[in-house]
Amino acid sequence: MSKNLMRLVALLLAFAMIAAACGDDGASDDPEETGAETTATTEAMEDDTEPDDTEPAGEDDPPVTEPAPLQAILDTFDANDDGTITIGVAAAGPRDDNGYYQSLVNFAEEYSAENNFAPPIVSDNIGSAEAAQAMADLAQQGVDILMVGASEIAEPLADLTEQFPDIFWYCNCGAGFAELDGLAQATDWGAAIHYSAGVAMASVMQEQGSTNSVFLGCCDINFEKEAYDATVYGLQSIDPSLTMEYVGTGDFDFDFDNSANATAALTNAQANGATLVYAYLGGALDPVGQLGVDEGMAVFAAGPADICERDIPWTGGVVFDGGVYASQALRLIIDGELQEGTTYQFPTESGLNGGVLCDASPEAQASIDEAFGLLASFDDALYGDLGEISGAAYGG
């Protein structure tokens, strides 16, 4: 890649991040994820010219990393020197939503069990008003790591990280959340992720012979706008006639769990001709998925990496798995690549995040692969368009 092109990409991504930071100081991971590329990713672009003699993972497999030595984990996180690690999880939604929040809780439980650590302590369904007290209560229960599941409950972190400095604080807080000296953050780029998802959905709609789909979200929050606009962009990059309607189903901000509203909205959308539904939801995820399947619709879920292994036969998913991200983030922390006071930008790549089809035809998989290929090549036109989508979502 030429130095001029790298500068252009960095400029576009910096614009998107600046717009995000100016537009909102509390974007959420509920159920995602958003952000423009950061310095870490720009450096990775420069490293792409170096030879890579590692064996590639399967296209749909999450990244494989060797487990960190136990002593390295203890040296990094054992705040009270008791010889074990206790993870605290603060979740804005239900711990059993089968979506973003549960993936983070499942990771904490599995990681603790694999290393013979103490069981994690989980506080879920935390509202913004009680976030400070709920996380302070967690912090006082002997936790060594405190994972914060979304930035709608992250506002108290500026005070809490100072009040409990021995705890390692980690948050996947999304675009625009300020860096704090005592907080390690990881994020991703929602526009890139949802562009690849739109391409996957377009392939399904073409096979259906349909042009009408629906995006079920919460309440038109900025990160939802980014996700929706990027999904439509991906759809129409394949076929300009494809459409998607956004429908908010929450009764209040960050209400991604309203099953009654979400299923009613799905029924109405189907009556209006929608043949595909994207459930950008938390606790309402499975009810929408099951109803969509029962009605013969194509159904896509937001968040989980294991969506194709679920009991509900999902058509596909848009992966930004909180547990997968946390597993990668902890390894980066142990290796010294992610530290308190910094933010790591996850790339958008097959097997880590983005659009996936559970039983893709060869033609559909080729379209998805091409979308990831364009992202990996840092295509200047694509990155410019996605940067504008992110800027509009967070700068309005």
Residue 64 pLDDT > 70, yes or no?
Answer: no
C-alpha to C-alpha distance for 142 and 145, rounded to whole angstroms: 9
Give the chain's end-to-end CA distance (angstroms, integer).
33
- Do 281 and 141 belong together in one domain? no
Q: How far apart are CA 145 and CA 168, in angstroms?
A: 5
Indicate if 147 and 176 belong to the same structural domain: yes
Total tally of structural domains belonging to the chain: 2
pLDDT at 271: 97
| pLDDT score of 125 more than 80 | yes
Residues 145-201: tens digit of each pLDDT: 999 977 778 889 999 999 999 999 999 887 667 889 999 999 999 999 999 999 999
Q: Report yes or no: 216 and 278 within 8 Å, Cβ to Cβ.
A: yes
> What does the pLDDT look like over 274-308, one tens digit per residue?
999 999 999 899 999 999 999 999 999 999 999 99
* pLDDT score, position 41: 40
Residue partners of 66: CB distance under 8 A and separation at least 6: none
- My answer on whether 294 and 263 are in the same domain is yes
- CA-to-CA distance for 197 and 206, rounded, in angstroms? 14
Shared domain for 245 and 374, answered yes or no, is: yes
Query: Is there a contact between 361 and 161 (Cβ–Cβ < 8 Å)?
Result: no
pLDDT, average across residues 122-129? 88
Shared domain check, 339 and 265: no
Can you give the pTM of this predicted structure? 0.80
168 vs 4, more confident: 168
Beta bridge partners of 254: none
What's 202's domain CATH number? Answer: 3.40.50.2300
Q: Please, which pLDDT band fits residue 70 given cuts at 50, 70 and 90?
A: confident
Using CA atoms, how far apart are residues 206 and 208, in angstroms rounded to an integer? 5
- Cβ contact 58:211 at 8 Å: no
Residues 176 and 241 in one domain: no
Please list the residues that pair with 90 across neighbouring strands.
123, 148
Q: Are residues 41 and 135 in the same domain?
A: yes
What single DSSP character describes residue 25?
S
Q: Coil, helix or strand for 248? A: strand
Same domain, 315 and 327: no
Query: Structural domain of residue 170, as residue ranges?
Result: 3-189+323-345
Q: In the predicted model, is pLDDT for residue 80 greater than 60?
A: yes
Are 224 and 174 found together in one domain? no
Strand order in the sheet with 121-123: 121-123, 87-90, 145-148, 168-171, 183-187, 343-345
What DSSP designation does 83 have? Answer: S
Do 200 and 141 belong to one domain?
A: no
Q: Give yes or no: residues 335 and 308 share one domain.
A: no
- Look at residue 234 in the predicted model and tell me its pLDDT: 98
- CA–CA gap between residue 217 and residue 213 (Å, rounded): 13
Structure token digits, residue 27: 């974007």
Model confidence at 117: pLDDT above 60:
yes
**Same-domain pairing of 52 and 106:** yes
- What value does the mean pLDDT take over residues 330-356? 93
